[in-house]
């Protein structure tokens, strides 16, 4: 029983330095470790602990370049996430990780990146968007297609509009519930507005139903399965490939993912 990588489920102490409501039921937390910085790569996730409530896996939403802090976005749905949504500046939490593979950013260098996301799926991708924004010269171009139910639920909208300087941003809502200058309609109807180039890498995160409809559209444009990357969300209790909650087929989302090439998972119906 010897292994260089170990996990004892102990936590790093951390403090909420900023808590901001992103929309009705989603909170963004800025977190600082009490000791040292969290080193991670875009696309990785942490296990976030609230004593007395439990632990959840959550994607990091800021670029690693920020170093001294990182952010996460949590939707209030269950016991743990509801309690997390009540957190205030100065509250103490526990952090484990980072876990997962994250994006192979070198592989994305000199490529035309297309980010497609739906709903809260934008959160983990924001880490990559911020990273690309900080290293513009390394990437050829960036297009973002992001859809939400209504304008209120567009997360990080101010930042995304600011991305316009280096990226082509298309925001769409299923229904307008107020003034809205962006697109309307589900994401699938706007795929044809993307600039399709031979050097394309598509990066996606959203509800499973989104993949079902978007992937056939992408395939119509002849985008190969290896160039489509999907960030998967799963129930997780350990983050280290033990608890079995996140598996599909012979893959562990916590170890082999959460970022997968579509070619790796297309034969497994449970994946998406």
Partner 1 sequence: MAESLIKKYDVYGPVNTHDEAVFSKYTFKKIGAGDKVELHYGVTTVPPTKYLFPVREDILYFKNNKEVFKDSENQKPRILFGLNLADLEGIDRLDKEFSGPIQDEVYAKNHENTYLFSIDHFDPEPETSYDLHFKKKDDRYEVTTGSAFGREIVAGNPLFRETKKESLKTFEPKKSPIHNLDLYKIIEKSKDDPIWDKLTETCFGCGICTYVCPVCYCFETEDKVKVEGIKKCEGCRKRRWDSCMLADFASISSHDFRPELRDRIYNWYHHKFVRTPKEHGFVGCIDCGRCIVYCPARINFHETLTYLIKKYS
Sequence-distant (6+) residues with CB within 8 A of 81 are 56, 74, 75
Q: CB of 40 within 8 A of CB of 102?
A: yes
Segment near partner 1 (CB under 8 A), from 72-80, 164-172, 181-189, 223-231? 72-80
Segment near partner 1 (CB under 8 A), from 109-117, 146-154, 220-228, 235-243? 235-243
Report how far residue 113's alpha carbon sits from residue 105's, in angstroms, rounded to the nearest whole number. Answer: 11
In DSSP terms, which residues pair with 47 in a beta bridge? Answer: 57, 96
Q: Is 266 in the site for partner 1 (CB under 8 A)?
A: no
Report how far residue 196's alpha carbon sits from residue 201's, in angstroms, rounded to the nearest whole number. Answer: 10
Report how far residue 227's alpha carbon sits from residue 74's, in angstroms, rounded to the nearest whole number. Answer: 29
Report how far residue 218's alpha carbon sits from residue 213's, in angstroms, rounded to the nearest whole number. Answer: 9
How buried is residue 270: exposed, middle or buried, by Cβ count under 10 Å (0-12/13-18/19+)? Answer: exposed
DSSP 20-58: EEEETTEEEEEEEESSS-----TT-EEEEEETTTEEEEE
Instruction: Please report how many Cα atoms fall inside a 13 Å half-sphere around the Cα of residue 260, on the Cβ side.
Output: 22
The residue within the footprint of partner 1, chosen from 101, 150, 188, 247 (CB under 8 A), is 247
Q: Name the minimum Å distance from CB 212 to partner 1.
A: 12
Q: Name the minimum Å distance from CB 238 to partner 1.
A: 8
Segment near partner 1 (CB under 8 A), from 70-78, 102-110, 135-143, 151-159? 70-78
Q: Which is nearer to partner 1, 55 or 71 (by Cβ)?
A: 55
Among 232, 250, 265, 269, CA closest to 59: 232
Q: Name the minimum Å distance from CB 123 to partner 1.
A: 13
Q: Is 241 in the site for partner 1 (CB under 8 A)?
A: yes
> Per-residue x/- mask for partner 1, residues 19 to 38, rule CB under 8 A?
--------------------
Q: Which is nearer to partner 1, 13 or 110 (by Cβ)?
A: 13
Site size for partner 1 (CB under 8 A)? 44
Segment near partner 1 (CB under 8 A), from 49-57, 129-137, 139-147, 179-187? 49-57
Q: CB of 94 within 8 A of CB of 31?
A: no
Segment near partner 1 (CB under 8 A), from 76-84, 107-115, 148-156, 167-175? 76-84
Q: Which is nearer to partner 1, 68 or 244 (by Cβ)?
A: 244
Chain residues that interact with partner 1, rule: CB under 8 A: 1-3, 5-11, 13, 49, 51-55, 75, 77-78, 81, 91-92, 94, 207-208, 233-235, 237-238, 240-250, 255, 270
């Amino acid at each position: 029983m010897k292994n260089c990588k170990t996990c004892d489920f102990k936590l790093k102490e951390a403090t909420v330095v900023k808590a901001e409501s992103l929309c009705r039921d989603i909170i963004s937390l800025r977190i600082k470790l009490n000791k040292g910085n969290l080193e991670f790569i875009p696309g990785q996730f942490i296990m976030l602990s609230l004593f007395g409530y439990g632990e959840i896996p959550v994607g990091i939403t800021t670029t690693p370049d920020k170093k001294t802090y990182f952010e996460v976005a949590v939707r209030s749905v269950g016991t743990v996430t509801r309690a997390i949504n009540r957190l205030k500046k100065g509250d103490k939490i526990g952090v484990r990780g980072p876990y997962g593979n994250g994006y192979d950013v070198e592989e994305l260098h000199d490529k035309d990146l297309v980010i497609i996301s739906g709903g809260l799926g934008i959160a983990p991708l924001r880490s990559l968007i911020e990273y690309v924004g900080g290293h513009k010269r390394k990437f050829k171009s960036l297009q973002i297609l992001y859809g939400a139910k209504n304008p209120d639920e567009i997360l990080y909208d101010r930042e995304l509009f600011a991305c316009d300087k280096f990226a082509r941003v298309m925001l769409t809502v299923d229904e307008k519930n107020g003034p809205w200058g962006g697109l309307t309609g589900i994401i699938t109807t706007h795929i044809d507005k993307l600039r399709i180039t031979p050097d394309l890498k598509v990066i996606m995160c959203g509800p499973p139903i989104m993949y079902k409809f978007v992937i056939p559209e992408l395939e119509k444009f002849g985008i190969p399965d290896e160039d489509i990357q999907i960030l998967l969300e799963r129930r997780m209790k350990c983050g280290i490939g033990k608890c079995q909650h996140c598996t599909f087929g012979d893959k562990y989302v916590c170890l082999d993912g959460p970022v997968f090439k579509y070619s790796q998972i297309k034969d497994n119906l449970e994946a998406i």
